[in-house]
Structure 1
Amino acid sequence: MRGFAEEHPGLCEVVSIGKSREGREILLAEITNQGTGPASEKPAFWVDGNTHAGEVTGSMAALYLIQTLLKRHGEDDLVTSLLDRGTFYVLPRLSPDGAERYLTTPHTLRASTRPWPEPEEEAGLHPEDLDGDGHIVQMRVQDREGEWRVSREDPRLMVPRRPDESDPEVTYYRVYREGLFKDYDGFERKIARPLYGLDMNRQYPYGWREDHEQQGAGPYPLSEPESRAQVEALLARRNVFSLHTYHTFCGAILRPFSDKEDGKMPEHDLAVFKALGERGTEITGYPNISVYHDFRYAPNEVITGAFDDWAYSAYGVFAYTVEFWSMAGAAGVEVEDFIAFFRDPPEEASLAMLRWNDEALGGEGFVDWKPFDHPQLGRVEIGGWKTKFTFQNPPPEFLEAECEKLARFALAHASCAPRIEAELEVESLAGGLRRVEVRVRNTGYLPTNVTKISQDKGVTKPVKAEITLPEGASFVSGEAETDLGHLAGRSALAGNSWKSPAFFAGLPSDYAARALWVLRGDGPIRVEVRSEKAGTVRLEG
């Protein structure tokens, strides 16, 4: 990260926004052409990754975006314009402790290395690399009452036993995660909860619920130094107008809300979420979907405490959770219901993924079943998917293609920033008076308030024009600072429910405003037009 700043001193600065629970720095890159103005005075796009420890593709994609911006500035017209007129804030790794454990051990974990909800391991099965091959896969144990059997199509695949199935010629199995039972009594086989059960993406201050209602939420909102540092960094950068948060794995673009239906969202915001999401689908091939309607883990349950919900509802920006990579998609399997597919993939889909593993990876993604003498269970077999870089993250040879198309989506979304432009007119009047007028327009797609929910809650300050007089000059009419309100963007059309070309009646000129002053006295005047999300313009006359 710091190497980027050293190689591109006029474009990139890297700062630490805090430290993880284990003391690792959480680094943020600030990318803009510093020669055209400071980062804080330009509309900004935020990207972060690796909220969940094992979703390391997010880190790589964020770094890829940084590299794309820095290398293409001055060569690519779009990138050059975005950095000359805007800012990117990129935080590649929010969970450095968890990622370190994920990448340097056979273990997986959800986010932080903080034990939660219990301080020590519970009694029951805990994952371990028993055979020392560097992977934690699965164990199968022969049992005539077992729930599983071997697929008739591929001996590597385990499939559920049918409800009425009882064939004396078939071997049935119990299937477990590869590991050891803590406090095993030789009879009861408990499945312990993970030691590291905290979920960073369930503990933001939006609809936060305690752990018994929302698993992984932690003891209180933003209890973790990583999530708190992220939110504080975002709140300190009021110029951010939109964000992408990078996760894995299903190949989808997710939008708020997680806990309520689309009808609860302002019409403008829902229309823009859909329009921007559809642009993302055109670029990436990923479907754009609502978490509430299309990505709930159970029909009668909702997700709370998610970062994108907080960023939209409380911070007031358009926020997407981008779920990178779909091994099923790579294998040619069409998935309509993501959660149902994760819970119980059809046998044909599982067979297709095994074939893809054989053809694309040379079989490296799957460990063939082999006998093993388990110290507690006796004779077992160990085998199964190496899930880290098949299911959860793309294999290395597929990584760049994923990063490249999501970088293009980020650039397209960043191009939709609200952007103020202004012109100043000074007219001499009789009696030593002058009439000063500044006309301000929003030339961007998004309004200067960005979202309707931001405007309703008063989250984003209105556009203001401030005039500075020369010594000896005075106001005849007007005040030093004029509130121009918020200026609409082209998204006003998306938020209008009547868009038929045959009947469209037009939109008001809410994209423009002006300030007027009458002054007495000579000398140069300066006008500054400020918008939190749409930038700052300075004029002299």
Structure 2
Amino acid sequence: MKKYILTIACVLMVSAFAKAQSAQDIFQAVGTPSNPKVKISFNQYYTSEGLAALGKKITDAHPNLVKRMSIGKSTQGRDIWMLAITDYSTGDADRKPGFYLDGNIHSNEIQGGEISTYTAWYLTESFGKVPYITEMLKDRVFYIVATINPDARNNYMKEANTRNTPRAGMIPLDDDSDGLFDEDGFDDLDGDGSITQMRRKSTTGDFILDPRDPRKMIRISPDDVVTGQRYEMLGGEGIDNDNDGRINEDIPGYYDPNRDWGWKWQPDYVQRGAYKYPFSAPETRAVADFVKKHPNIAGAQSFHNSGGMILRGPGAEEDLATYNRADIAIYDAIGKKGEELLPGYNYLTVYKDLYSVFGGELDWFYGGRGIYTFTNEIFTGFAYYKNKDGGFDQIYAADKDLLLGDGFTPYKEYNHPTYGLVEIGGFKKNTGRATPGFMLEEEAHRNMVFVFYHAFHMPHLSIGDVSVKSLPNGLKEVTATIVNDRLMPTHASQDLKYNIERPDYISLSGAKVLAGMIVQDADFNVTTEQKNTPETIRVANIPGNSTVMVRWIVKGGNNLTIKVDSAKGGVVEQRVK
């Protein structure tokens, strides 16, 4: 009888809990989709397979907004999944201005996977509810790749690593040139999944425990009088697997996918991390092939970590001439807005504020394809206390105050085969660079709205004033003003310099066109005539926040159609009576 009553009570409790989670019992928090079709926890990280599964759920729940495709295979044969998101009921998706977004090019820089997925989720769950998103998807298409380095993402998450390894792609390399591959990588001696630090008590050691925080080691200065225990730091956990007298010198494959792109590429002896030749890694090749097949892509964003930075090129001073004043003004406007949207982040230039990068992704996107591109370095120590970034020391306080000790492995003794009795401990691999779970959704949302601001300012074309003027002998003069009301032109300066993309076409149909011209000055009637195919006027560029005026002389026709066809600006048409 007691068992029966207990069972009934449990059923009632479960029933009550289920009812508490129903849609009518939830009050929406502003800025977050209410009662989403796909429920995702954005306070945790997902493996490559986990991200792929989330992408499929989003696609299955929103078939009218998402098409999912593999753009290639990774080194180990995993699919590189892309979600193409737009309102497929309006226009040709491939002819809409496109925005490319990716994350996790470096294996340990994982937040980009979640931010990219959050962006896809937010777009689909907000369509039809948030006018800004609904309008955006009518005339924009987003190409979202959550991880372009799925093999190395899984290695970082599933294998023993430090916070900084593996940065690379997963092509096996012999880092110490001893003819062996990956034979002396990290060893997780205490089995906690993270490579922390080894220290050893020593009468001649040059470190002591910080008296204010025993988790921290501080170096002894020459004038210090030391009465307590000295330690020597031995580096990361590991043993000498190949008997060459060194530890951790040949960690799994080191090549850097962000040195593999075909713009100002340099070989490994110049640019550490470069592979055989530009696009020699299958992951970067897959992205490049996709981008080249989609000339509608006008803006791009790649997510890295960390440091709280909004980066633009050039990657190297040698490439400084690539970025001219007009395009830098556009970068500046978007980047400075990013500083407002992302508190604690700084808008910077790679070569000037960091270091030289040859063969980088953002430089290839802009230099090679004329696509305005940013790289965001996700997470900054500012996020901990919302006042300043106190550097690495701040993480000790944050672990104690905010993470409640969850980010640090206390030191424990271990009998090392080479060093004897040592102590192993320190910060876990998911502490410091990876955004803590309770901050991750805010990080994702803020970086997403920066993407939206960037995408909003891709070219947005319309046909403005149209006038029809009667001329002698049954002729008519048709004049049209083409408007671009966003920051970006239809052709970046780099595009114009190297003729990367075709001109914009402005055409008139419905009558016999005798002459076509670009109007340089309407007041003084200064025009430049196009002798060949006058019905389709070729315009080199439609500048941002500006207009282009064209004119035709036609005979006959009462129902005319003006069409603007721009690779990066899309297609618009208007009937003229």
* Shorter-chain TM band: 0.7 to 0.9
| 512, 522, 525: which one aligns with 1:474 | 512
Q: Deviation per CA, 1:206-228, whole angstroms, max 9, x where unpaired?
A: 22111122111111111111001
Q: Identify if the C-alpha distance between structure 1 residues 474 and 189 changes in structure 2 by more than 3 Å, giving closer, same or farther.
A: closer
How far apart in 1 are the matches of 2:387 and 2:232?
27
Most deviating of 57-66 and 204-213? 204-213
Q: Identify if the C-alpha distance between structure 1 residues 516 and 210 changes in structure 2 by more than 3 Å, giving closer, same or farther.
A: same
| 402, 418, 442: which one aligns with 1:376 | 418
Q: Deviation per CA, 1:138-196, whole angstroms, max 9, x where unpaired?
A: 111233444433223211112233256574644131331011113336xx445514222
Q: 1:333: Cα distance to partner?
A: 7.3
- Are 2:351 and 1:310 equivalent residues in the alignment? no
How far apart in 1 are the matches of 2:203 and 2:502?
68
How far apart in 1 are the matches of 2:341 and 2:349?
18
Q: Deviation per CA, 1:395-442, whole angstroms, max 9, x where unpaired?
A: 222211110111111111111121111155555655554443332111
User: After superposition, where does 1:78-477 map in structure 2 within 5 Å?
Assistant: 78-107=132-161, 108-118=165-175, 120-121=180-181, 126-163=185-222, 167=226, 169-184=228-243, 188-189=245-246, 191-260=248-317, 264=321, 265-285=323-343, 286-296=345-355, 302-327=356-381, 329-331=383-385, 334-335=388-389, 345=392, 350=393, 352-388=394-430, 390-423=431-464, 424-426=466-468, 431-449=473-491, 451-469=492-510, 474-477=512-515
How far apart in 2 are the matches of 1:379 and 1:328?
38
Q: Answer whether contact 1:42 1:535 (CA < 8 A) is retained.
A: yes
Aligned alpha-carbon RMSD (Å): 2.4
Q: Deviation per CA, 1:27-57, whole angstroms, max 9, x where unpaired?
A: 1111111122122222122210111112221
Q: Answer whether contact 2:160 2:186 (CA < 8 A) is retained.
A: no
How far apart in 1 are the matches of 2:280 and 2:267?
12
User: Percent of aligned positions with the same letter in both sequences?
Assistant: 29
Question: Which runs of 5 or more residues in structure 1 are unaligned?
Answer: 297-301, 491-510
Identify the residue that residue 71 of structure 1 maps to in structure 2.
125
Q: Answer whether contact 1:151 1:158 (CA < 8 A) is retained.
A: yes
Question: Which runs of 5 or more residues in structure 2 are unaligned?
Answer: 1-54, 517-533
Q: Answer whether contact 1:61 1:407 (CA < 8 A) is retained.
A: yes
| 463, 485, 488: which one aligns with 2:540 | 485
Q: Answer whether contact 1:463 1:530 (CA < 8 A) is retained.
A: yes
Q: Identify if the C-alpha distance between structure 1 residues 531 and 138 changes in structure 2 by more than 3 Å, giving closer, same or farther.
A: same
User: What TM-score comes out, normalization by structure 1 length?
Assistant: 0.86
Identify the residue that residue 497 of structure 1 maps to in structure 2.
none
Q: 1:529: Cα distance to partner?
A: 0.9
Q: Answer whether contact 2:380 2:389 (CA < 8 A) is retained.
A: no
Identify the residue that residue 4 of structure 2 maps to in structure 1.
none
How far apart in 1 are the matches of 2:246 and 2:69?
48
Name the SS for the 1:402 alignment partner. helix
How far apart in 2 are the matches of 1:355 and 1:335?
12
Q: Deviation per CA, 1:339-371, whole angstroms, max 9, x where unpaired?
A: xx6xxx5xxxx1x32121112111010001110
Name the SS for the 2:278 alignment partner. coil
Q: Answer whether contact 2:304 2:376 (CA < 8 A) is retained.
A: yes
| 548, 556, 565: which one aligns with 1:513 | 548
- RCO (CA 8 Å, sep 6+): is it higher in 1 or 2? 1
Runs of 4+ in 1 over 6 A off after TM superposition: none
- Residue 62 of structure 1 aligns to which amino acid in structure 2? S
